[in-house]
Amino acid sequence: MNLILAWAERPFTPKFRAILGRFTLIAAIASFLIHLGLYFIKSWYPDWINGPLFSHPINAIYTPFSVLLLFETYLLVYYLRRSTTIYVAKQYEIMVLILIRGVFKDLTHLELGRNFHWNSGNIELVWDLLCVLVVYVCVLLFYRTSGYLSDQEFPNPPEALNLRRFINSKNILAFGLFAVLVGLAATSLVSWIQSGSALENPVTDLNAVFFDQFYTVLIVSDVFILLLSLLYSDDFPTIIRNSSFVISTILLKLSFTAESGVAQLLIVGGVSFGLVMLWVTNAYHRLGTKP
DSSP letter for each residue of 68-92: HHHHHHHHHHHHHTT-HHHHHHHHH
Interhelix angle for 120-146 vs 84-107, to 10°? 160
* Contact yes or no for 87/80 (Cβ under 8 A): yes
The parts of the chain modelled with pLDDT lower than 70 are: 1-8, 45-53, 111-121, 148-164, 189, 192-209, 288-291
Question: How many DSSP H helices and E strands does the chain contain?
Answer: 9, 0
Q: Is 50 left (phi over 0), alpha (psi -120 to 50) or beta?
A: beta
> Could you give the CA distance from residue 160 to residue 155 in angstroms, rounded to a whole number?
14
**Residue 49 pLDDT:** 65
DSSP letter for each residue of 199-210: SSS--S-GGGTT
Rg (CA), the chain: 21
* Opening angle at CA 76, ends 99 and 8, nearest 5: 155
**Residue 285 pLDDT:** 81
How confident is the model over 176-232, as pLDDT tens digits? 888 888 888 788 767 766 655 444 444 445 566 677 788 888 888 888 888 887 777
**Residue 199 pLDDT:** 46
SS3 of 154, please?
Answer: coil
> Could you give the CA distance from residue 21 to residue 190 in angstroms, rounded to a whole number?
23
The CA-based diameter of the chain, rounded to the nearest angstrom, is 77
**Residue 202 pLDDT:** 45
Type and span of the H or E element at 246 = helix 236-254
**Residue 121 pLDDT:** 67
**Residue 193 pLDDT:** 61
> Could you give the CA distance from residue 273 to residue 255 in angstroms, rounded to a whole number?
15
**Residue 277 pLDDT:** 94
**Among 283, 222, 280, residue whose Cα is nearest residue 247:** 222
Of the CA atoms within 13 Å of residue 81, those in its CB half-sphere come to: 21
Residue partners of 16: CB distance under 8 A and separation at least 6? 10
Burial of 54-63, coded b for 16+ CB within 10 Å and e otherwise, reads beeeebbbbb
With 0-12 / 13-18 / 19 or more C-beta atoms within 10 angstroms meaning exposed / middle / buried, residue 204 is: exposed
| Amino acid, res. 14 | P
Percent of the chain having pLDDT more than 90?
22
**Residue 116 pLDDT:** 61
Of the CA atoms within 13 Å of residue 29, those in its CB half-sphere come to: 5
* Contact yes or no for 241/281 (Cβ under 8 A): yes
**Residue 85 pLDDT:** 87
**Residue 201 pLDDT:** 44
